[in-house]
Amino acid sequence: MSRSHSAVPVTPDAMRDALGAFASGVVVVTAVGPDGPIGFTCQSFASLSLDPPLVSFAPSRGSSTWPRIREVGTFCVNVLAADHEHHSAGFARSGVDKFAGVSWSPSPSGSPVLDGVGAWVDCTLWNEYDGGDHTIVAARVAALGADPHGLPLLFHRGGYALTPRAAR
């Protein structure tokens, strides 16, 4: 027997409530610009293609950092580890030195790989698409690495959540 579902108006709040049921990882996209390292937090990240190797992410159209990274053309997607809530919050801020006190080393392209991340994906810009109030970025993977034992930082229902293995 199936139950009936009533629809609600599709508003930004309703979208957040419904899609917040989908747990996602959190990444920080980094590059080195003319004035030094730059980066921003992004929750919309996914593998896109194996051949050619592509990933995607979606920065807000209001981002002041993505246009600066776009100009560089190469960047690194840092998949945050379970203990990186501070990086998620720190790289989401505007108007501050996001790299103050942050340890990192250069990826093959020279973009920052944050210490202790679960994985890193060094990329070049492939294409951009209209995504409403976001830009959908497709990026070609040039190099990558991962910690096979690390647990990811998860975002669920508006907050950070324990990973399934960590909850056991």
Q: Where are the domains of the chain?
A: 23-153
Which 8-state DSSP code applies to residue 77? Answer: E
Task: Enter the CATH code of domain 23-153.
Answer: 2.30.110.10
Residues with Cβ within 8 Å of 147's Cβ and at least 6 positions away in sequence, in order, are 81, 116, 117, 118, 119
Residues with Cβ within 8 Å of 18's Cβ and at least 6 positions away in sequence, in order, are none
pTM of the model: 0.89
Distances (CA, A) of 60 to 39, 65, 128, 162: 13, 10, 13, 26
Distance, in Å, from the CA atom of 164 to the CA atom of 151, rounded to the nearest integer, reads 9
User: Do 119 and 32 meet the contact criterion of CB atoms below 8 Å apart?
Assistant: no
Q: What is the pLDDT of residues 141-164, one digit of tens each?
A: 999 999 999 899 998 888 888 665
pLDDT at 121: 98
- Confidence category of residue 165, pLDDT binned at 50, 70, 90: low
- The mean predicted confidence, pLDDT, of the chain is 91
pLDDT at 168: 42
The closest of 108, 139, 110 to 124, measured between CA atoms, is 139
Q: What is the pLDDT of residues 20-29, one digit of tens each?
A: 777 788 999 9
Q: Tell me: pLDDT of 115 over 90.
A: yes
